[in-house]
Structure 1
Amino acid sequence: MRNETEVRNNIDATRYELQVDGGLGIARYERREGAIIFTHTEVPEALQGRGFAGRLIKGALADVRDQGLKVVPLCAFVSAYLDRHPEEQDLLATDAPG
């Protein structure tokens, strides 16, 4: 049984997922030329404001780092997360792919 607080890369659905308290948060992405392009982050309304999306993105970025990829934050939430976490900014792609 998978840990409920574990961020999972659902490659077939091209999204990262985090399931908490019966709700599923997602961070949609596209993968191109050595980068993950985050396009949308969504959490259930009942879980908003509890740090759920931040945990989702933190886990997603850890996986991106493990894969040796860069990030293009088209999603406003991911962009704001990176602004608040300078330790993650080395993941930013300097040349946006595609």
Structure 2
Amino acid sequence: MSTETKHEPDKNRYMLLVDDREAGLADYRIQGDEIVFTHTEVDPAKRQGGLASTLVKAALDDVRTSTTLKVVAQCPFVADWIDTHPEYHELVERG
């Protein structure tokens, strides 16, 4: 199984591909100097193996390296993920 995460800025989302097929997404909106993650979803048939975590990590890594935006986690999954990964706390404390 191969996974890839693509940023689709024109659709305000990160897309997770599994074996070149859409398997999940993380929606966001930009508000000033913040990126607000609003919704994360993974295909119910593919919810094993930590795919949602793979998606969120890739999205946050992209935000970290490509922007200076502060992360706001309205999505409960993203909020919980950040809470359990202290190395990402600085993203919510930017600015």
Band the TM-score falls in, shorter-chain normalisation: 0.7 to 0.9
- The size of the alignment, in residue pairs, is 92
Q: Which has the higher strand share?
A: 2
Aligned-residue CA RMSD in angstroms?
1.7
1:1-98 matched pairs, under 5 angstroms? 5-21=3-19, 22-66=21-65, 67-93=67-93
Q: Percent identity?
A: 43
Gaps of 5+ in 2: none
Gaps of 5+ in 1: none
What is the CA-CA distance between 1:93 and the residue it aligns to?
4.5
SS of equivalent residue, structure 1 residue 63: helix
CA distance in 1, matches of 2:29, 2:84: 23
CA distance in 1, matches of 2:22, 2:49: 13
TM-score (ref. length: structure 2): 0.88
TM-score (ref. length: structure 1): 0.85
